[in-house]
Amino acid sequence: MRKTNLFKTGVLLMLSAILVSGAFPRKVCASAQEVTASFFGNHADSDNNKENGYFCNEITIKNKYFNKDICNYSEAPHGEGGRIQLFFVILDGVLHPAYCIEPGAPVNGSWVYNGASGVNSSDPYWEYIRNNYKETAEAISLTIGYSNQYSTASDFSGARAACQLIVWEIIGGYRDPASLKVTDTALREATAGIRFEKYYTLISNQLMNHYTYTSFVATDENSTPTITLPYSEEKEEWGIELTTTSGNIDMIDYTPLTEQDISVEKIDDKTIYLYTKNKIPSAKTYTVYKHLPGSLYSDNLYVWTSYTSGGRGQCIVSGTDNEATPLYIKLETEPVYRNIEINYYDKYTNEKISNSFALSATEHLSEYDVSEHILSEIKYKEILYNHDPKLNSGDAITGILDNDKTINLFYGYTHDITINYYDKYTGQKISQSYISEPAEHNTDYDAEKHTTLMFDGYDFIDHIEGDALTGVLDCDKTINVYYGYNHDLTIEYRDEETYENIAETVIYLPNGEHNSDYDKTSDITLNIDGYTRTKITGDSEQGILDSDKSIIVWYKKDYEASPETSDLLTTSVLCGLTVFSACMFTLLRKRKKEL
């Protein structure tokens, strides 16, 4: 601060002299009615930069709030230059430090420093703080941490003075280290109206807030209440908004939760949204931490930055994890149950062919496998259906129950083509039926090649009945092929004496279809010269062609010539004799001439 501030009170004048001269006054007593306690915050890197030091405004605490005399006590253990100045109050004859932190003090992250150049570890005030006030270290650390938040304020000295006053309150026993609440109402009222009241109030409130835990955590692991996270179908996660009725959520380190896949989102200073994608099978207690401010801002918290180049003269306060306060939060996820439904459909019409299978109250995110409920066959309306796995729709047969599952199974059926081969006359089968391989419903078929087979003893296919030879296989198909056959008829002409055929045999091949009429009357009247037809044997010359027919016409040879035959013979003989006579006459004449 400016030097004018050094002369506001007699005490400050004395302090200034002490700093400059290096003298060591032992006690400065105030009047019985009023005590001025100066909270000093000066540092000097060397004798030449004392002007960079800062003095806090004095704080006047009236004696009516304290029944004991309060005196200032100061020392400069570093000798020339007065690097540290410590103030004490005497209560009941006991020396109490009025403040214990000075910006240039080489505390190096510890409240007790031993071994620094020029510092005697046996100095009574260091030993006193170390031995008697070590339990207040966290409270003092917090005080410095929060005062650092206001170190850039225009009234910088006010924030520093407020910090040192609070430290004095802690060490002097006027502020509870566990809650940082002022235990003496009169002291709290005494700070009203002082020039740095704003910073005193801000820092005090933040300190108390730090020691006020959020209402949804506990300090006792065994008595931590359970928080149940409801499940959100929309977000597909378990989550809950937690609003604290005390404290500030920023002071809690939720890293242990996030490391176990439990996310935390800040909504405002009082509310967080805590959620997870994974179920917590049973209530589980998690440890979270409340850290010192040092770990919230940086690894090392620099308090009361000096105006010297390079930032020299800073006090380093470390807020480390081992100084964190463990807190506990117990979480469980709301039980969520899923249903599985399996539907069985006709794949051609989408008609249900069986009652659905339902599996209910199965735990969310559990594994499932419904393979055993896939029916391979279903008989419906006298039709035997078969499962078609290529047409499954909906959810998978196996998986994780992350929601309700609906599995649709589709079934189809096949048709056969049967071709029967019959004798058209008897209706009896003449061969084993042809049965096709099962074919898918509504597929095209062509059975024509299986209706052109021929069998021994049959000459022709008479007709085909039943279903069409080609078409769409919309049902089982039956085709009946009817076969017929023909008969031969033979007529022979025989000499009844020699049994030899005397004329060409007539064979009617085929003569006609089985059971057809026949009439061969005209064929049995054949006249053969020299023979007389005598009888007919074998089958009848007319009737029903119910088998092959054989007719024999018998003839008897004629031996006596008829008149017509005698005349013919006489004429032939006469002609022959005439020719012979002529030849002989000619021959005789020729011989006569030769003679």
pLDDT digits (tens, 9 = 90+) for 416-472: 999 999 999 999 999 999 999 999 999 999 999 999 999 999 999 999 999 999 999
The burial class, CB within 10 Å (0-12 / 13-18 / 19+), for 2 is exposed
Rounded distance between C-alpha atoms, residue 105 and residue 111, angstroms = 10
- Average pLDDT value over all residues in the chain: 72
Per domain, the residue ranges of the chain are 3-202, 221-333, 337-412, 415-484, 486-557
CATH number of 486-557: 3.10.20.320
Which tokens hold the place of 142? Answer: 């917090």
- Is residue 354 within 8 Å of 378, Cβ to Cβ? yes
Counting Cα atoms < 13 Å in the Cβ hemisphere of 41 gives 30
The CATH code of domain 415-484 reads 3.10.20.320
Where is pLDDT greater, at 124 or 441?
441
How far is residue 414's CA from residue 437's CA, in Å, rounded to a whole number? 9
Q: Among 225-234, 358-367, 581-590, which is the least confidently predicted range? A: 581-590
Residues 6+ apart with CB under 8 A from 41: 54, 55, 56, 102, 103, 157, 160, 161, 164, 304
Domain 337-412: give its CATH code. Answer: 3.10.20
What is residue 26's predicted lDDT score, i.e. its pLDDT?
27
Output the pLDDT for position 540: 93
- Distance in angstroms (rounded) separating the CA atoms of residues 507 and 491: 6
192-243 residue pLDDT tens: 666 667 888 888 887 787 777 788 998 888 889 999 999 999 999 999 999 9
Helix (H, G, I), strand (E, B) or coil at 444: strand
What does the longest C-alpha to C-alpha distance in the chain come to? 225
Give the 3-state secondary structure of residue 483: strand
Three-class SS state of 79: coil
Which H/E stretch holds residue 146?
helix 137-148
pLDDT of residue 533: 93
Are 292 and 253 contacting, i.e. CB atoms less than 8 angstroms apart?
A: no
Fold identical between 415-484 and 486-557?
A: yes
Query: Residue for token digits 């085909």?
Result: 464
Q: Residue 342: which H helix or E strand, with range?
A: strand 337-346
